[in-house]
Amino acid sequence: MKFLYSLILLILLVSCSGNSVDDKNCRFLLDLNILPIEINLQLPEYLNLNSTGNSFYIANAGNGGIIVTNIGFEYKAWDAADPNYIPNTCLPLVPSGLEATSNCGEGNKYSLVTGQALGNTSLRCALKNYSVQQTGNTLLIFN
């Protein structure tokens, strides 16, 4: 009986797949430790973030800056570097409403709601997401 249990256990261990969601093609962006970035939504430069569908670009953070977006019921923060290109080979993504466009290659477009590529199904990598915590009129961005 022990032999039968051992055989079943061995078959289960051998049959386990090594599949992973880690795509080796999506390792261009560094996993930088972002110190909390604080945004006061009452300051004039951030007032547009109080309206749904608006975005704001923060330079000198993350791999290519950070784009903060108001998607209506919450705020999202994304790295502004195109995840499908090696960093520093092109300019940061340009936000426009709930989309961001890359200056690299064919002008890749990404959703600032989901982080997924728009229109081009051959793009494998999604935008790098950062955490956003809202307390009153203050946003805290971190990873």
Considering 54-58, 83-87, 89-93, the range whose residues carry the highest mean pLDDT is 54-58
The whole-number average pLDDT for the span 3-14 is: 52
* Cα 23 to Cα 1, 19, 58, 109, distances in angstroms: 42, 10, 27, 20
pLDDT tens, residue by residue, 38-83: 999 999 999 999 999 999 999 988 888 999 999 999 999 999 988 8
pTM check: above 0.85: no
Inside any domain, residue 22: no
Asked if 80 contacts 141 with a C-beta cutoff of 8 angstroms, the reply is no
Q: Is 8 within the bounds of a domain? A: no
Residues linked to residue 139 through DSSP beta bridges, in sequence order? 39, 134
Phi and psi, residue 27, nearest 5°: -115, 25
**How crowded is the C-beta side of 55, counted as CA atoms within 13 Å?**
24
Checking if the pLDDT of 92 tops 70, the result is yes
Average pLDDT, the chain: 81
User: Has residue 37 been placed in a domain?
Assistant: yes
Residue range 105-129: mean pLDDT, rounded: 88
Q: Is residue 10 part of a domain?
A: no
Whether residue 5 lies inside any domain: the answer is: no
Nearest of 91, 90, 103, 95 to residue 78 by alpha carbon: 95
Domain that holds residue 64: 32-142
**CB–CB of 68/56 below 8 Å?**
yes
**What tens digit of pLDDT does each residue of 119-142 get?**
887 888 899 999 999 999 999 999
66: CATH: 2.102.10.10
Split into its structural domains, the chain has a count of 1
Query: Residue 113: inside a domain, yes or no?
Result: yes
62: left (phi over 0), alpha (psi -120 to 50) or beta: left
Q: Are 100 and 107 contacting, i.e. CB atoms less than 8 angstroms apart?
A: no
CA 55/CA 67 separation, integer angstroms? 7
7, part of any domain: no
